[in-house]
Every structure is written in C-alpha cells, then in structure tokens.
Amino acid sequence: MTAEKVAKIGFLINPIAGMGGRVGLKGTDGLAASQALAKGAAPQSEERARACLRYLLQKATDLQFLTAGGEMGENALAVCGLTYEVIYHPPQQSGPVDTISACQELKRRKVDLILFCGGDGTARDVASVGSEIPLLGIPAGVKMHSGVFAISPQAAAELAITYVRGNIKLRETEIVDVDEELYRAGELATRLYATALTPHQPALVQERKRIYLSGDEEEFKDQIALFAAEFMRDGSAYILGAGTTTAKIAKGLGLEKTLLGVDVIQNGQLILKDASEKDLLALLDKEARAKIIVSPIGAQGFILGRGSQQISPAVLRRVGEENLIIVSTPHKLAEVPRLLVDTGDADLDCLLAKKRLVVTGYRLAQRKETAAASLF
C-alpha cells in the first residue's frame, strides 16, 4: 500500500453474530439464531461495527468502502456518515451464502482489505475469497479462536488505517472454528479451515486460542481448586465462567460444571447450570452476596468478553468489580503480557482496567495488569 492511493475497503457485517452469547447458546450457527431470538437475544454486531467505523472516521476520511446492502454493512456506514458503494444486495434474511457471494464480488473489485464483523463462522465464510486479499475481523461473535481478529472494534480500526497507510505488514494466520453442536454439549472440537493474511501489530491482534496440556498444568489447577474450596465457604453465590480451570474448581467440590458454559455454586451446591444472562440477573435479585470467578483464554488473555458473555456488563455491575476473582495457571499467565476485557461497555472496561491479583496456586497469587481492549 502507498500513502497516495485511495484504499478500497470491503466492509461486511454478520447481523446475527454474537446473539447466542448472553442467552447461553454459545454461537449462532444453523438454527441457533432463531433459538437466540426466541430466548430474547438482541443483535450485537452492528453496534460493534459502528464503534469501529466511528474510530475510523476520526482518523481518516479518504477511504473508499464497498459493502453489502442493509444490515450486512450499508446501514452502519450510513449511520456513521461514511461514503460507500453497495456491491451486493442480500435478501431480508441473509446467511453464509450471502457473505460468500459478497466476498466474491469484493474480490472481483480488487479491494485492498476486507474488514468484517462477526465471529469464527463469519471468518470461515469471508476466507472463501482465498488468501490473496488481507482479512481483518471486528470481534462480535460468541467464539473467536481465529487469529484474524483484532482485540476490539477500535483496535480493528487502528489496524486497518495503519495497514492502508503502509505502516505495518501482513502475517499469515489461521482461520479455525469449533463444531457448535459439540460445543453446546461441552466438547471443544476445533478445526483448521483456512489460512489468511491479516494486518499485524502484536498489541492489537489476538492470538489463536491455545489449550495447555501437561502434568504441571493439572497440578496447578488442583491447587487452585483446593484454595477455592476454602474461600467459597462464605455463603456467597459464585458465578463460574467457562474453561477447564473453573471446571476443576467445581470438580474439587464434587460437582460437574458445564465446561463451556456459566454455572453458579453456593454452599457447595450447584444452584444454576449453564446459566444465561437473564438467569444470572434473576439470581442476583435474590442473592445479597455474589462473586465471579473467571480464567483467561490461553494465549489471548481475555477474561471477559469472550466465551462467557452471559457474564454481561449488567451482571458485572450488579456483582461489583471488587468481587471479580481471576484464576490462572502460572504457565498460561506467563504467555500473555496483560489480561484483557472487552465487555462492550467502554466505561466498565476502564473501571476493570487495573493491577489485579490472580490466584495461581494454593494460597498463591500474582499481580497482573488488566487492560481495556478498546484502549489499544
């Protein structure tokens, strides 16, 4: 890219991305979108896309956007006052085939970058254009394990501008996705679907999720669980986020946790299993004392905003940031320079951003910086 050339950016939104998170569906592939709507889920992706576009508008006014009609991009660009051309008109209810068709037209128009808003399923569809066009994801899905996503909508905007100005290079990264049916059943089966080029700046692009398997890891999880069994005797309702570390805490109490969901334990009993945001808020109406236990995603460092979106800004504000407990094995903690939060509530993210204690073993803790992803 050169500074003199007007950059052509393909811009696409998956309108249903992320809707399943707060209602506990863990994704919106297949029939899950209609199920999410039936459970009262609200669209999330357009607002995430607008946050990116607003930041882009502050930084650059000479970008040429090519997009799909209506909710797939046109509406967000129009609201933000950006100039655009609609190159594909989807039906009222769009689907993966429309993302793929729009991307093929963007390829024909030789765009310099495809900036899309969604999750891993959307990334798979966008990657159908092949590996010639750089891709960059605005994070809006329930599961985002691929390395093509920026850490926040604002970070996506910064990366896009910096790339089209010729100031950063591309790296090859992996597009991965999980089987959502198995995922909802508590089994994480990840598959590599494609590779893609994406603008890269270490602090702004998330790493692909990693799973650590070793004897030392399991020993530290056992120690964390032993310590948790002590402090969880205070009568509070403990909201446990997703992951193997929190699952080990439940196992230490003789309980079986939803591995990839959010459960609640009180006085050694499982009182809510695979809870939605609505379930948690109803519980908080009755419980005077509640605490949240979360663990960072391996290699990415996110403790909130990925994977456990049922623990929403409304839930976090009700519980109080002082009642947020972070647990992690030392190895996982050493892999990330900082912990990240991306709840969708910028003010809350800033409140959560500070030095925090992280439980790493039996009566052991380390201090780690927690940062709002939107600040990068």
Residue 208 lies in a domain: no
Closest CA to 327 of 218, 215, 225, 207: 225
Residue 183 lies in a domain: yes
pLDDT at 298: 82
pLDDT at 200: 93
Give residue 225's domain range.
Answer: 215-375
Residue 3 lies in a domain: no
How many Å apart are CA 28 and CA 243, to the nearest integer? 20
Instruction: Convert the pLDDT of each residue in 226-270 to its tens digit.
Output: 999 999 999 999 999 998 999 999 999 999 998 889 999 999 999
Query: Integer distance in angstroms from the first to the last C-alpha of the chain?
Result: 23
How many Å apart are CA 94 and CA 23, to the nearest integer? 22
Residue type present at position 187: E
Q: Is the pLDDT of residue 214 over 60?
A: no
Say whether both 245 and 162 belong to one domain.
Answer: no
User: Of 170, 199, 228, which marks where a domain is finished?
Assistant: 199
Say whether both 124 and 265 belong to one domain.
Answer: no
pLDDT band at 194 (very low <50, low <70, confident <90, very high): very high
Say whether both 264 and 313 belong to one domain.
Answer: yes
How many Å apart are CA 326 and CA 344, to the nearest integer? 19
Residue 312 lies in a domain: yes
Percent of the chain with pLDDT over 70: 87
Residue 210 lies in a domain: no
Say whether both 225 and 153 belong to one domain.
Answer: no
User: Of 146, 168, 199, which marks where a domain is finished?
Assistant: 199
User: Are the C-beta atoms of residues 166 and 189 closer than 8 Å to each other?
Assistant: no
CA dihedral sign, ordered 48, 15, 282, 357? negative
Say whether both 150 and 267 belong to one domain.
Answer: no
Say whether both 190 and 220 belong to one domain.
Answer: no
Q: What is the pTM of this model?
A: 0.86
Average pLDDT value for residue range 295-324: 92
pLDDT at 3: 47
Say whether both 114 and 219 belong to one domain.
Answer: no
Say whether both 322 and 244 belong to one domain.
Answer: yes
Say whether both 30 and 176 belong to one domain.
Answer: yes
pLDDT band at 141 (very low <50, low <70, confident <90, very high): confident
Say whether both 245 and 350 belong to one domain.
Answer: yes
pLDDT at 2: 46
Residue 2 lies in a domain: no
Say whether both 269 and 363 belong to one domain.
Answer: yes
Average pLDDT value for residue range 207-223: 74
pLDDT band at 306 (very low <50, low <70, confident <90, very high): confident
Residue 274 lies in a domain: yes
pLDDT at 213: 53
Cβ burial, residue 269 (10 Å; 0-12/13-18/19+)? exposed
Residue 207 lies in a domain: no
User: Of 153, 173, 199, which marks where a domain is finished?
Assistant: 199
User: Are the C-beta atoms of residues 33 and 125 closer than 8 Å to each other?
Assistant: no
Say whether both 153 and 246 belong to one domain.
Answer: no
**Domain count across the chain:** 2
Average pLDDT value for residue range 79-100: 95
